[in-house]
A and B are shown apart, each in its own frame.
Chain A
Amino acid sequence: MRYFNAHRKGLIALALVTIGFYAFYFISPIKATSMLESSWRFAIPLVLAAMVGVIGERSGVVNIGIEGQMLTAAFAGFFGAALTGSLLVGAVAGVIAGIVMGAFLAWTTVKWQLDQIIAGVVLNIVAAGVTSFYYKQGYTLPALMPKFEVPILSQIPLIGPVFFNRGVFALAALVLVFVIQYMLFSTRWGLRTRAIGEYPNAADTSGIDVIKMRLINVTLAGGLAGMAGAYLSMEAAGTFERGFTAGRGFLALAIMIFGAWYPNRVMAAALFFGFASATASQLQIDKVVDIPQQFINMLPFVMTLIVLSVAAGRVRPPAAAGTPFVKGSA
């Protein structure tokens, strides 16, 4: 009951959206399923990538290098699997690539106090350079990442096939949203993480090692970017090209802001973006409107602009995000 009162608005919105979608499903099961399916497909990498930003900023480190982290991971995953013929090797390589990139950001900004924006830009440039330079045509994956049917849950109409009949990274994205939400707000790690991102001096005087905690959080969050990248090349597309992530890392930052740095709201925001773009495509398929495909592809970015201009001033980022912590400066 206390839970309900504290989250009343969110729960009511969730209930209304669910009812709405099932009503739609009742009228047109095929269309509803396909639209929800393309919304979530669009959202999966964004959810994972936006959570990299959430954990980073909640700990006080702005990460604009998510794009580069994802790109490197997509590359490592694809070629890891293509060269060894093992999907497992590829998946692990992708996640490790993300963690390595996370560690780069962590050490440059937290340990050596390089400007966080500059470090993020460096990450993106290095990632674009390295992945283009070593890119070779003519490789293929042994197979796409296999799908798992989650028992029972995948039998639920509508949401079953969309959410619970997926590859590992997509399932991980779904589970991790709730796990990280819980960790941030109900565990010791979460309380401390929020403290070092809001007011690191207070954490320091409470006996928390701010530097160490930021290093660990930013590094491990890189693993989520790794999953997002590997998802794109190994689970969704099955290919890799130059500039493969196409700005999704930046879109994720917009979604992080739209989701006000809460994992569950981030998921809702990502689904909303996905749904908007699915609606536009659907309208075109149905010949309701006739807009060139390029404009449809532009939609998420236009929405980003709108969302950010509306959200600006309404949501409040963690206060210390962007500033390095210097011990004894209190």
Chain B
Amino acid sequence: MTQPLLEVRGVSKAFGKVQANKDLSIHVNPGEIVALLGENGAGKSTLVKQIFGLINPDDGEIIVKGDSTPIKDPSDAISRGIGMVHQHFQLVPVMTVAENIILGNEPRKGLKLDIDGAREMVRRISDQYGLEVDPDAEIEDLPVGTQQRVEILKALSRSVDLLILDEPTAVLTPQETDELLDVMKSLAANGTSIVFITHKLREVLAVADRVYVLRDGELAGEVLARETDQAGLALLMVGREVVLRVDKGEPHVGEEVLKVEDLVVLDDRRLKAVNGMNVSVRTGEIVGVAGVEGNGQREFVEAIAGMRPVVSGRITLSQTDDITTAQPHHVHAAGVGHIPEDREKHGLVAGYSIADNLVLNRFDEPEFSARGIRNFAARDENAEVLVEKFDIRTASIGSSAASLSGGNKQKVVVARELSAEPKLLLAAQPTRGVDVGSIEFIHNQIVAARDAGAGVLLVSAELDEILSLADRIVVMHAGHVVAEMPAKDADRQLIGRLMAGGN
């Protein structure tokens, strides 16, 4: 047998009381694609961060091409041929694509940066892998999918033998995902080894050769991808059968809870992102907004939540309450819950404790404070209940939100918004980055909120999520609704065509 390219032997890592990795051993052969699966907080990111030298193991060895000297830091990892695409983008927002790609490995002419050379290089690798980017665009102007492409190009720009991809597909559209999977296959065919983290079992089965499953920081299993299926993987991950389909009864539809009329909203570049949007949501139903990301969904939800000014049109709650110009606080007080698309930016305060984050928009309500003085006992009690109910994996309710794994952050936001028992729930990408077990749980919670009489507006880039959760589907394209249908009549192919702007 050939020598493995990467060998991890008995690695352990603790953060305070949390044992994120326990005596883990894995190996990756040259040209092999290995998937790492596991629930949120299982320790996947922790493991790969150690391989990339971002954090150092407490115990154990990481051997790259037979060399067992510890990997000190990322520059050490890079020099040994390891590249990584991070779960949270590691790009400088105010710099251009080319500048970001060369950062840390800059071509120079004498003392001067060779920016022309950098542009050339970006064009060349972008052609080579079929990942299209404009080298001169600034990162902050780019949609997340393109930013992800830049991340990948950046890793590929330094000849890598081992490429680590930590949830690269969480923010990609299905088409972009397929493109990425193709790139991965062709890289592997050319001898590059890949460690791939994802929560989407379909992707694992599509590209991986071998799968490691982590549970609570330990290795829970190892299987060959061709010898398993989605249900088998889910069972290994969660330790029980997972229902991949949502079980829900007939909706009991009541009065109109949200009416949006002729809405026009601008995006950050001051272009009309939402252009003549009309939607109505009634109590007891889930309306799914399907659409390719970047067709105004984000601006649409933000306008309802009061986070973005409305240019024209009207937003009415429960037929009488005009919230077109209301501030987020008032929208919340009027009974609207909001699971924002960008949890890091709009959903959480990273430095606050989990307990505080769970009452972030309600700390001043009578339940949690009296005469301007906060009731910490009530806050902690609330936190204990929600952490238990939503299975948020954390050392304590006093830990900062920043210490949570990606999926657990999402659960904090979902728990907070659902626990307020909103009459209208705006759910934007509610299961992004969440493991299959938790997706099932969050879906059930959303259905329960519906059955308790809430209206739900669900925006998701996952067509599967829309198809399995929604009672009614609207397709959004270029800032307005292009089609509407009851979910039971929905046809996957047709919706796909409508999303792309066809008919």
Question: Quick one: closest A residue to B94, CB to CB?
Answer: A198
Contact B88 A330 (CB under 8 A): yes
Known contacts A192-B104, A203-B92; 18 further A-B pairs (Cβ under 8 A) = A187-B111, A187-B112, A191-B102, A191-B113, A195-B95, A198-B94, A199-B93, A201-B90, A202-B91, A205-B84, A207-B73, A207-B75, A319-B93, A319-B94, A327-B54, A328-B55, A330-B54, A330-B88
Contact with A along B99-129 (1 / 0, CB 8 A): 1101111101001110000000000000000
Q: Is B308 an interface residue (CB 8 A)?
A: no
Whether the pair B104, A208 counts as a contact (CB closer than 8 A) is yes
Q: Interface 1/0s, chain A 186-202, versus B by CB < 8 A? A: 11101110110011011
Q: Answer whether residue B402 sits at the interface, using C-beta atoms and an 8 A cutoff.
A: yes
What are some 27 contacts across the A-B interface (CB < 8 A)?
A186-B113, A188-B106, A188-B108, A188-B113, A191-B102, A192-B104, A194-B95, A195-B95, A199-B91, A199-B93, A202-B90, A202-B100, A202-B103, A203-B104, A204-B54, A204-B73, A205-B54, A206-B74, A206-B90, A207-B74, A207-B104, A208-B103, A209-B73, A316-B94, A328-B54, A328-B55, A330-B90
Nearest 3 CB-CB pairs, A to B? A207-B75, A206-B104, A202-B90
Count class of interface residues, chain B: 20 to 34
Interchain CA distance A1-B157 in the complex, whole Å:
30
Q: CB-CB < 8 A to B95: which residues of A?
A: 191, 194-195, 198
- Chain B residues positioned under 8 Å from A187 (CB to CB): 111-113
Decide if A205 touches B111 in the complex (CB within 8 Å).
no
Tell me if A309 counts as interface (CB < 8 A to partner B).
no
* A208→B104 CA distance, assembly (Å): 6
The answer to whether A330 and B73 have CB atoms under 8 Å apart is no
Which residues of chain A are within 8 angstroms of B402 by Cβ–Cβ distance?
329
From A200, which residue of chain B is reached at the shortest CB distance?
Answer: B92
Q: Tell me, rounded to whole Å, the shortest Cβ–Cβ distance linking B404 to chain A.
A: 13
Over the window 46-75 of chain B, the binary record of Cβ atoms lying under 8 Å from chain A Cβ atoms (1 yes, 0 no) is 000100101100000000000000000111
Interface hits, A306-330 → B, CB 8 Å: 316, 319, 327-330
Per-residue 0/1 for A204-241: is the Cβ within 8 Å of any B Cβ (1 yes, 0 no)?
11111100000000000000000000000000000000
Q: With A186-B113, A204-B54 in contact, do A195 and B75 touch (Cβ < 8 Å)?
A: no
Q: Contact check: which of B73, B78, B106 meets A191 at CB < 8 Å? A: B106
Q: In the complex, A329 Cα to B402 Cα: how many Å?
A: 8
Which residues on the A side are within 8 Å of B49 (C-beta)? 328
B74 in contact with A204 (CB, 8 Å): yes
The one of A186, A199, A327 in contact with B92, judged by C-beta atoms closer than 8 angstroms, is A199
Given contacts A186-B112, A328-B49, contact A191 B103 (CB under 8 A): yes
CB distance from A141 to the nearest CB of B (A): 37
B86 at the A interface (CB under 8 A):
yes
**Complex: A201 Cα to B94 Cα, angstroms:** 14
Please report B residues at the A interface, Cβ cutoff 8 Å.
Answer: 49, 52, 54-55, 73-75, 77-79, 84, 86, 88, 90-95, 99-100, 102-106, 108, 111-113, 154, 402
The answer for the CA separation of A52 and B52 in the assembled complex, in Å, is: 35
CB-CB under 8 A from B79, the residues of chain A are 207
Q: A residues near B, CB below 8 A?
A: 186-188, 190-192, 194-195, 198-199, 201-209, 316, 319, 327-330
Say how far B51's CB is from chain A's closest CB, in angstroms. Answer: 13
A321 to B403, CA, bound (A): 22
Least CB distance from A59 to B in Å reads 13
Are A206 and B93 neighbours in the complex by a CB distance under 8 Å? no
Name B403's closest neighbour in chain A (CB-CB). A329
A195 pairs with B92, CB closer than 8 A? yes
**Bound state CA distance, A199 and B112, in angstroms?**
23
- Docked CA distance A319–B86 (Å): 20
In the docked arrangement, what's the CA distance between A199 and B94, Å?
Answer: 9
Distance between A205 CB and nearest chain B CB, rounded to angstroms:
4
Q: How far is the CA of A328 from the CA of B49 in the complex (A)?
A: 9
Q: Which residues of B contact A186 (CB under 8 A)?
A: 112-113
Docked complex Cα distance between A190 and B91 (Å) = 16
Shortest C-beta distance, A330 to chain B (Å), equals 6
By a CB distance below 8 angstroms, the chain B residues around A204 are 54, 73-74
B-side contacts of A188, CB under 8 Å: 106, 108, 113
Chain A residues contacting B112 (CB-CB under 8 Å) are 186-187
CB distance from B462 to the nearest CB of A (A): 26
- Rounded to whole angstroms, the CA-CA distance of A219 and B91 in the bound complex is 27
Which residues of A are found within 8 Å of B100, using beta-carbon distances?
202
* Residues in chain A near residue B88, CB distance under 8 A: 201, 330
B18 to A: closest C-beta gap in Å: 14
A198–B108 CB distance below 8 A: no
**Within the assembled complex, what's the spacing in Å between the Cα atoms of A328 and B55?**
6
Closest residue of chain A to B49 (Cβ to Cβ) is: A328
A207 in contact with B78 (CB, 8 Å): yes
- The answer for the CA separation of A209 and B78 in the assembled complex, in Å, is 13
In the bound complex, CA of A191 to CA of B114 (Å)? 12
Q: Are A198 and B93 also in contact (CB < 8 A) when A205-B74, A207-B75, A209-B73 are?
A: yes
Check A205–B86 contact: CB distance below 8 A.
Answer: yes
Q: With a CB–CB cut-off of 8 A, which chain A residues contact B93?
A: 198-199, 319
**A111 to nearest B CB, angstroms?**
17
Inter-chain CA distance A319–B94, complex, in Å, is: 9
**A199-B93, A328-B54 given as contacts; is B74 within 8 A of A191 (CB)?**
no
For residue B77, which residue of chain A has the nearest CB? A207
Residues of A within 8 A of B52 (CB): 205
A49 to B: closest C-beta gap in Å: 25
A327 to chain B, nearest CB (A): 8
Within the complex, the shortest CB–CB distance from A2 to chain B, in Å, comes to 10
A209 to B91, CA, bound (A): 16
Which residues from chain B contact A206 at a C-beta distance below 8 Å? Answer: 74, 78, 90, 103-105, 154
Distance to closest chain A CB from B63 (angstroms)? 20
Across the interface, name the chain B residue whose C-beta is closest to A204: B74
State the Cβ distance, A64 to closest chain B Cβ, in Å: 23
- The answer on a CB contact under 8 Å between A202 and B92 is yes
User: A202 — which chain B residues lie within 8 A by C-beta?
Assistant: 90-92, 100, 103
Q: With a CB–CB cut-off of 8 A, which chain A residues contact B105?
A: 206-207
- Report B142 CB to chain A, min CB distance, Å: 15
CA distance A201 to B104 in the complex (A): 12
State the Cβ distance, A23 to closest chain B Cβ, in Å.
37
- Please report the C-alpha to C-alpha distance between residue A199 and residue B95 in the assembled complex, in whole angstroms: 10
Which residues in A have their C-beta under 8 angstroms from that of B84?
205
Measured CA separation A54–B219 after assembly (Å):
49
A201 to B93, CA, bound (A): 12
Which residue in A191, A198, A199, A208 is a CB contact (below 8 Å) of B75? A208
What chain B residues lie within 8 Å of A208 (beta carbons)?
A: 75, 103-104
Give the residues in chain A near B94, CB-CB below 8 Å.
Answer: 194, 198, 316, 319
Residues in A with CB closer than 8 Å to B92 are 194-195, 198-199, 202-203
Residue in chain B with minimal CB distance to A318: B94
Is B86 within 8 A of A330, CB to CB? yes
